[in-house]
Amino acid sequence: MNAKEAVAKRIQTLCAERGITVNALANQSGVEPSTIYSMLGAKSQNPGIVTIQKLCDGLDISVRDFFDDQIFDTLEPVIK
């Protein structure tokens, strides 16, 4: 799994844990729903850290908490 896929999966997991939709997350974080859907799909290949921080603010977690998940432990190397 690459970093982009891991970020998308983490967002989906956090939304599911909280019982919220992508639109609810968008409202809570001040990020356009289309931006989040792009991050979840194939359109956005490089989710920005500022956007991730806004999502974390909306989820009331720190960026450290966002990335403190085992999904990020086995990322594919970018440089081979």
Domains in the chain, ordered, with CATH?
3-72 (1.10.260.40)
Chain-centroid distance of CA 49 in Å reads 10
pLDDT at 80 (0 to 100): 75
- 23, 31, 73, 71: which is closest to 50 by C-alpha? 31
- CA-nearest of 32, 57, 41, 58 to 7 is 41
Q: What is the tens place of the pLDDT at every residue in 12-66? A: 999 999 999 999 999 999 999 999 999 999 877 788 999 999 999 999 999 999 9
The conformation of residue 70, written as its DSSP 8-state character, comes to G
